[in-house]
Chain A
Amino acid sequence: MSRLDRTRTSAHQLRPFFSSQNLLNRADGSAQFDFGESSVMCSVVGPSEVKLRDEKLDKATIEVVVRPLVGLPGIKDKAREQAIRETLEPLVLSGLHPRTGIQIVVQTMKDDGCILATAFNATILALLDAGIPLKSILGAVTCIVDNNSNEILLDPTTEELANAKSTHTFVFDNKSSITSKEEQQESVDVATLYSDSTGLFSEEEYFECAQICYKAVQAVHGFIRTAVQKKLEKEYQQIHS
């Protein structure tokens, strides 16, 4: 079947990834991540000084600011800020930098659907670029259940999102899920770091979407590893050439 964006042929195919790191020279870490035509840039400054009233005695304070593509931030962006901050809290080893602040700014550069998932991926790349200690990395992906065909489509574009019966965004880390080989089937007990689903869907549809998104997120994790590896190789060459 051909998807609405005509470049993909399968329902479970992600759009081509693109990322670049260390783009901003004023920030401690920065990265841009693209899911096809959706692009989000993220900058990280930290660990740095934090206002007294936000100071935590035993941990670093994580602050997230989300800026939309056009206009001033609204409540949608506030909700995304809360989502990103709450998801990063258990991942960042903030106990290593008490009484400091880590400020993360997320800016949408191009919007073709799945901005939250793109933002999550850009944020983790930027945190890696900044050298903030993390327990694990994360990977995010969105899927929808199409209104007409009831099929699960991965990584929808804005056009596909308009025809969605339900939209699901999942974030998985790269260590909590346990893969077990039973008989001849490999089953995964998928461990969800962040999940946000709206629309009308059944319980079975939800857990099926989780499984499908988990498989897709493995590609995102692999991509993040490759991106960081390439960046480090380039830096090593620059230092030693």
Chain B
Amino acid sequence: MAADRKRVAGPETSVAPLVEYPIDHQPWTPFTEKRHNSHRQPEDLRPIYLKTGLISEANGSAYIELEKTKLTCGVYGPRPIKRAGQGFSDRGTLNCEIKFATFSCVKRRGTMRDAQEKELSQILSQGLTPAVRLELFPKSNVDIYITVLESDGWGSCVAAAFTVASVALAHAGIEMLDLVAGCSASYVPTSIPSNSNSSSSSTTESSTGAGSTVTPQIFMDADLEEEKYQQGSIVLAYMPSLNQTTHVLQTGKAEGSIISQSVEHCVEACNKIFAVMNHALLESIDQKKL
């Protein structure tokens, strides 16, 4: 990493330390037929804690916690675009920026925005833009800034980002067609496939051999340990009242039936998340009245 002149300089390069596990350490595997957190069923989501109004300077803000996944979101806008003279636009624009804090992942992340964060920012924009009534603020821009303080599972991070951004937008009073709820699901094989050459630490590649006969199980809202064994995953951004999907992100390999099943599960889960989002927003209104 090139020396950043605008920060306190550390050593030129540094590596994450190797973690030694003791001989009798048994890491969790999905082949025990239970989830990483043994109290959870495959279709259970992690309990969501959602609160608005933590950033007083922002027009709208929200904070979401899914056990170990923590995100904050600040919304600024609508505010005028800088170069308003160049080309009149009759629709406003939505600008999303997501940043993982350096301490949010197991391996320290860089201070500058890397390609994954830029891609995620695009995904968020694509998922939120259909829900926002941009035609109501021409020549203006809405900025959504999300900071991931702790990440426990990439899929859950993206899903939580959708949720927290929608709640912050609503808190800012920006008119929307509907809230966007985000949900993720992973396809994890829970039984060792018949081909004994498979390694249990495969991620998106399915086991070796001509076609695995293992039907993966759908784990809703998988965390980091479970994602290590996933064959594929899906993240859904869904507008519950309108029954419309704004964004589907599918990775890995899976049969069509599994994918459609997981989309249905995600839609159900999004409806539950919608109730939580509504509750948080109603609470914020009550607080304003006090």
Contacts and interface: CB of A to CB of B under 8 A. Distances in A.
A is bound by B: yes
Interface of A: 72-75, 78
Interface of B: 5-9
Chain B's interface: helix, strand, loop or mixed, by majority? Answer: loop
Most buried by B among A72, A73, A75: A75
A74 B4 CA distance: 9
Contacts, number: 10
B290 to A, nearest CB: 40
Contacts of B7: 75
Contacts of B8: 75
B11 to A, nearest CB: 15
Contacts of B9: 74
Nearest to A76: B8
7 contacts: A72-B5, A74-B5, A74-B6, A74-B9, A75-B6, A75-B7, A78-B6
Given A73-B5, A74-B5, A78-B6, 7 more contacts: A72-B5, A74-B6, A74-B9, A75-B5, A75-B6, A75-B7, A75-B8
A87 B6 CA distance: 23
Most buried by A among B5, B6, B7, B8: B5
Contacts of A74: 5-6, 9
Contacts of A73: 5
A78 B7 CA distance: 11
A132 to B, nearest CB: 30
B85 to A, nearest CB: 14
Contacts of B5: 72-75
Nearest to B5: A74
A78 B6 CA distance: 9
A98 to B, nearest CB: 25
